[in-house]
Structure 1
Amino acid sequence: MATVPHCLYCFETLAAYLEGRKSMGLNEIVNAWVEYSKDTEAGVEDANKHESLEKRIPALKRVVGSESSETSSSSSPSSGSTMSLATDTTTTSADETIITESPLFVTWNTVSSRTGNTSLRGCIGTFEAQELDEGLSSYAITSAINDMRFDPISKRELPSLEVAVTLLTDFEDCEDSMDWEIGTHGLRISFSERGRRYGATYLPDVAAEQGWTKEETLVSLMRKAGWAGRKEKWQTVDLKVVRYQGKKKSLLYSEYKRWRDWVSQKSEDDDDDDDDDEA
């Protein structure tokens, strides 16, 4: 399945493209993420130890409370979101080297700063297996810049973005148009009508997120493909339906930025250490 480093890589690729700089590679990001998560987990553990100590020793609580207010901004993550990322890594880092190629989709969403609601900003992928280093970087940019439904994403939009990566697996021909499960399967349909061929796909999470029934999903997918027939006539169309699976991973720009700042700071610290050694 997709991982946090895959999402970081998409953000890094798009940010580097828009900022005119060289992007970090996928393997480089995976290694940096492992180090980052260890540092972050250490900070979370220290914070938890402090909290436990405060509960056990009420007399110390006043002292610890006054000190922590001065040091928390530099010694621990600034939000619960970052803490969840750190703990997530311990369960996914071992899997990051297992999948080296896969069919994939990269989705960009805009997140409202007022409501937190997301709106689709671009989504393009491929059913052909891709080397992840090349495939993720290519489709991260393609879905952001070349989705004809939207204007190209600009640099100023980066802070409002969320990325989602879906790696696709388990492709199977359906016995009929209803031979699939909402929330489990993505769909790829194809059909012909009046000499014209149609095709479209929905990723596994779409129907569940929209609250659609199977029939509503299929009709919407046919509309997406360009079918203009009457809704009640959809069953008269000879659909070929392929089901597939794939769990997505999502990441906000703020989480990418926090990680990227850590990488930049670590690089500066390493350079300072090298200068000290030379001196």
Structure 2
Amino acid sequence: MATVEHCLYCFETLAAHLEKRTPMTLYQVQASWADYPKGLDDDDEVLHAESASEVDDDPSSDERPSSSSATSASAGKDKLSRPRIPVLDRLSNSNSRSSTPSSTSTTSLSPSTAETTPSSSSNFVPIGLHPRRTSQRSSTITESPLFITWNTISPSSHIKNLRGCIGTFSTEPLAEGLKSYALLSSLSDTRFSPISLRELPSLEVAVTLLTDFETCADPLDWEIGVHGIRISFYARNKRYGACYLPDVAVEQEWDKEETVISAMRKAGWGGREEKWREVGDLKVVRYQGRAESLGWGEYKRWREWVDEGKEGK
């Protein structure tokens, strides 16, 4: 599952590239994050206050948690292991309902959508993504199919807009895959200009690791909001393929048939909508995505802590 450390490493890779310095390694980032203070003392106080409220009958006690704190504390016992980071995954994407991905010859994966040229490829390019915080904070995974998404966050409206996304369905060693696709998605997504140094403060990065690939018995044999789909088919003696990530159908309010047809359109199919099942050798693979996201502010605070030499102290 994707972790905060994976997101930090992507920011570190991009920032170091733009600042023309040597980036920390993934191992160094992971070791540093383990020592980094994450505001857990406050969470301890909230949980302590809740415990006290169970045995303290004094209604005038001023150590009661606020309603928001109580909700947060009741989210589960693993709360103590979770760092305090901005919750941006519920923000809307202003382009999610209006933009259509342009065709591109770049091989890449995408967070919400993906397309390829008629020739087969293991990589794809995307459009918007709303990564969910479903991952654990620690992970022993060392390789995975993955993609990296960069979004800009408007300071006034807090609306999220896609800034770049590229990834792969091929299994990649994480240290190399995260580094490569952090740069490819930020600098080489042909739908956008390369991200510049001055843009860093407006960015959020999302890392998604792809899991549980299963060939569908039927093109509609998958669940909205749970599965992403990767389709392939023949039409006019050419092979076509495209993919959508799990969040896309939910964001666009599509049913399963609409999602499959949209993916076919994205791949380049121009047939009649009611004839979609008549293409040759239509195959659908369903999969799940384990995502984590992080904003520049949290990365900057961590990086300043590292630069001040507080690691291991």
Output the TM-score relative to the length of structure 1: 0.77
Matches within 5 A, 1:72-91: 83-84=84-85
* Secondary structure, aligned partner of 1:2: coil
| Residue 260 in structure 1 maps to residue 303 in structure 2 | yes
1:12 aligned partner: 12
Structure 2: distance between partners of 1:243 and 1:44: 38
1:203 to partner: Cα distance: 1.6
Q: Comparing both structures, which one devotes a greater share of its residues to helix?
A: 1
Tell me the equivalent position of 1:155. 197
The offset of 1:42, in angstroms, is: 3.2
Matches within 5 A, 1:113-124: 113-124=155-166
Aligned residue number for residue 36 of structure 2 = 36
* Structure 1 residue 48 displacement after superposition: 8.3
Q: After the TM superposition, which segments of 4 or more aligned residues of structure 1 sit over 3 Å from their partners?
A: 42-50, 58-61
1:166-215: per-residue Cα shift (whole Å, max 9, x none)? Answer: 11111111111101111111111111111221111112222222222112
Determine the C-alpha separation between the residues in 1 that align with 2:215 and 2:207: 24
1:241 counterpart residue number: 284
The amino acid across from 1:130 in the alignment is E
Secondary structure in 1 matching 2:265: helix
- Decide whether aligned partners of structure 1 residues 128 and 109 sit closer, same or farther in structure 2, where only a CA change above 3 A counts: same
Does the residue aligned with 1:183 lie in a helix, a strand or coil?
coil
Distance 1:161 1:177 in 2: 36
What fraction of aligned residue pairs are identical, expressed as a percent?
A: 57
Give the 3-state SS of the residue equivalent to 2:246 in structure 1. coil
Deviation at 1:232, TM superposition (A): 3.1
**Cα RMSD (Å) of the superposition?**
3.1
Within-5 A mapping of 1:211-230: 211-230=253-272
Give the Cα–Cα distance (whole angstroms) in 2 for the partners of residues 59 and 146 of structure 1: 57
Unaligned runs of 5+ in 2: 53-57, 64-81, 87-132
Instruction: Give 1:78's aligned residue.
Output: none
Larger radius of gyration, structure 1 or 2?
1
Report the CA distance between 1:113 and its aligned residue: 1.5
After TM superposition, the structure 1 = structure 2 runs for residues 83-162 of structure 1, keeping only pairs within 5 Å, are 83-84=84-85, 92-93=136-137, 95-96=138-139, 98-162=140-204
- Secondary structure, aligned partner of 2:260: helix
Segment drifting more, 171-180 vs 205-214: 205-214
Structure 1, 133-142 or 242-251: larger mean CA deviation: 242-251
Q: Write the distance in 1 (CA, Å) between the matches of 2:290 and 2:266.
A: 22
TM-score (structure 2 length as normaliser): 0.69
